[in-house]
Structure 1
Amino acid sequence: MQYFDVCNGDADGLFALHQLRLATPRNAVLITGPKRDNALLARVIASPGDHVTALDLSFDVNRAAVLALLARGVTIDYIDHHVATGLPRHPLLHADIDTAPDVCTSMLVDRRLGGRYRAWAVAAAFGDNLPDAAHRLARLAGIDSGDEASLRELGENVNYAGYGDSTDDLLIDPAALYALLEPYADPLDFVGACPLLATLGRVRREDLELACEQRPAATSASTEVYMLPDERWARRVRGAFANRLSREAPERAHAVLTPTAGGFWTASIRAPLAAPFGADRFCRLFGGAGRAGAAGIGHLPRAAFDAFVAAFRQAYEMSA
């Protein structure tokens, strides 16, 4: 039997996998990539009797690959918090999918493991822009405020490392980052031993400063839309900037767009933190996907910008 670990390359995906492998060490083939690269199950070359663990990846995006693997006789353990429509029933599919807006995949793994490595879930929740959920977990684990602040920095920095439209945009490949954290059972030990994290934090703050110099392209009572330039820093910062905007104006929905080749935009969408619903539903109107509080669109035609802004306003002004 061969094992495959397939996860999103952000803090939530990497820390979810790390918790599982701390609890159950396994010699597995790791498949991961930039945060935007969700269609990872298609890369699994498995045989009958093999086992796949899938973490923090949209089931809807990977549906065809999952069905093909199941038909081949591959067992799949699927843990995720993105919307999954029409989840199939199959004896080889074990799905733990919770789409509540205050849950991330690392929290689902923490739930499965009974809090055994909870500090990693705290860091992941901070990285996934769920500060209230992260704080609740930290209190449950008896983590003091100083260590909680360190876990927040860890989660946000590792999450930032996964942002970008291609590996050329990334500060470090997610597989290489996982190899760095893999020896550490305690995330605070990892923080103390890995100087790269400080570099990630510095670049994240520099990129955010550049983003904060931009003016919104469209605003309304309940929404704000930003168009960032065609630069590596902008592609990296798009999601983190959207998270920052949502924390600073929790009553508003936010969209941050960057241009891509071929006349398209890539968009990061954040529902209002005060009412974190509907981002996934809105993005599906334009071929995107995600979860209720945060979602994205990979190929929004630039000519559709005005229609996008109008639909965005309608979606969130109607719910305001």
Structure 2
Amino acid sequence: MNHYYVFNGDADGLCALHQLCLTNPEERDVKLITGVKRDIKLLDRVEAESGDRVTVLDISLDSNRNGLVRLLDAGVQVAYFDHHHAGEIPQYSNLTARIDLSPDICTSLLVDQHLSGQYHLWAMTAAFGDNLVKKAQQLTAEAGLSPSASEQLAYLGEYLNYNGYGDHLSDLHFHPVALYEAIKHYTNPFDFIAQSNAFTKLADGYREDMRCANSLCPLAGDDKYAAYVLPNEAWARRVMGIFANKLTNENPQRAHAVITPNHSGDYTVSVRAALRNPQGADSLCLQFDTGGGRKAAAGINHLPIDALDNFVATFKQHFCN
């Protein structure tokens, strides 16, 4: 029997995977399937058979519907943890779906609930990485962590999330599987922060990329919205999600869009609803081909170059009415 873990390559997917694998240390030869953060149609890559198990973490069920139904019809046991747009959930006895679209939940918190808080520090790390800052701060306070300890987890979450962004794996500092291989030896995230060279590399890369991003001015905007177009550079593709989160946290009354050229000759778009009203990012992005996500944070994988003006106008109308 094979066990496939299919996970988003961002902080939430990595931390969800890590929690589950820490719970089953005796499990050997698991198969890991992942990609860059935007590479979410991952179930199409799974060649499982009846009797195999597949655990899916932090990718939209709706985007993977065909692959999921194919596996379920083949008799594969599937456990699905996610917080993105799901659509109608297929009804199969061999599917266990733990899906919650609430704006203050992420996949690692769903796994944390499933495991009764066994590796709670990693779930808090993921919440920070997924920009659920208030929720994460609430959880660290309830756990009795000091402000400095909470800040360390916040940085770790940001760095893990930052590593997942890119148009291609070559844009990343670490392949997500390689980053998991660096993480998996650490039950406690504070040990990873103190001891891992991977943490140091991510921290250095993050600081340099954000230095470049902070020099940018918006293409369009006012007190309710702002749209930024980044240059066609690897650093820009790496930083687009984290930069969107930073803008949102610094301007909680505004919605933000960060638009970055990709290797296909199109744009990749990251959208964040205003923190004070974290709704509508998904419904905006679903108006465009390859768009999706959740209420507070969503994106478009491939926006044609000639559709930029239409997107900015739609974005403005969506959040300013």
TM > 0.5: yes
Residue number in structure 2 paired with 1:155: 157
Match of 2:187 among 182, 185, 188: 185
Q: Given the superposition, is the C-alpha separation of residues 208 and 114 from structure 1 closer, same or farther in structure 2, using an over 3 Å criterion? A: same
Q: Which runs of 5+ in 1 are unaligned?
A: none
Q: How many Å apart are 1:196 and its aligned residue?
A: 2.1
Match of 1:214 among 213, 216, 227: 216
Q: How many Å apart are 1:260 and its aligned residue?
A: 2.5
Residue number in structure 1 paired with 2:92: 90
Moved more, 149-158 or 224-233: 149-158
Residue number in structure 2 paired with 1:312: 315
| CA deviation string 1:15-41 (max 9, x = no partner) | 111111112332311111111111111
CA distance, structure 2, for counterparts of residue 205 and residue 276 of structure 1: 27
Helix, strand or coil at the partner of 1:111: helix
| CA deviation string 1:186-227 (max 9, x = no partner) | 111111110221221121121111111111111133110001
Helix, strand or coil at the partner of 2:267: strand
CA distance, structure 2, for counterparts of residue 123 and residue 299 of structure 1: 29
Helix, strand or coil at the partner of 1:134: helix
Residue number in structure 1 paired with 2:300: 297
Letter in 2 for 1:124: A
Contact 2:253-2:275 within 8 A present in 1 as well: yes
Question: What pairs up with 1:11-26 in 2 under 5 angstroms?
Answer: 11-25=11-25, 26=27
| CA deviation string 1:232-287 (max 9, x = no partner) | 00111111110000001011000001112454211000000111111111000012
Residue number in structure 1 paired with 2:6: 6
Contact 1:220-1:313 within 8 A present in 2 as well: no
CA distance, structure 1, for counterparts of residue 264 and residue 75 of structure 2: 39
Contact 2:237-2:262 within 8 A present in 1 as well: no
Helix, strand or coil at the partner of 2:302: strand
Residue number in structure 1 paired with 2:233: 231
Letter in 1 for 2:203: G
Aligned-pair RMSD on alpha carbons? 1.1
CA distance, structure 2, for counterparts of residue 262 and residue 237 of structure 1: 18
Contact 2:167-2:263 within 8 A present in 1 as well: no
CA distance, structure 2, for counterparts of residue 138 and residue 255 of structure 1: 29
CA distance, structure 1, for counterparts of residue 132 and residue 224 of structure 2: 21
Q: How many Å apart are 1:73 and its aligned residue?
A: 0.7
Residue number in structure 2 paired with 1:271: 273
Moved more, 143-152 or 233-242: 143-152
CA distance, structure 1, for counterparts of residue 208 and residue 47 of structure 2: 40
Q: Which runs of 5+ in 2 are unaligned?
A: none
CA distance, structure 1, for counterparts of residue 279 and residue 176 of structure 2: 29
TM-score using structure 2 length: 0.97
Question: What pairs up with 1:111-130 in 2 under 5 angstroms?
Answer: 111-130=113-132
Contact 1:224-1:255 within 8 A present in 2 as well: yes
Moved more, 197-206 or 51-60: 197-206
Contact 2:182-2:198 within 8 A present in 1 as well: no
CA distance, structure 2, for counterparts of residue 262 and residue 238 of structure 1: 17
Letter in 2 for 1:3: H
CA distance, structure 2, for counterparts of residue 262 and residue 118 of structure 1: 39
Contact 1:118-1:137 within 8 A present in 2 as well: no
CA distance, structure 2, for counterparts of residue 204 and residue 29 of structure 1: 29
Say how many residue pairs are matched. 318
CA distance, structure 1, for counterparts of residue 4 and residue 233 of structure 2: 34
Contact 2:223-2:253 within 8 A present in 1 as well: no
Identity of aligned residues (%): 49
Residue number in structure 2 paired with 1:47: 49
Contact 2:252-2:275 within 8 A present in 1 as well: yes
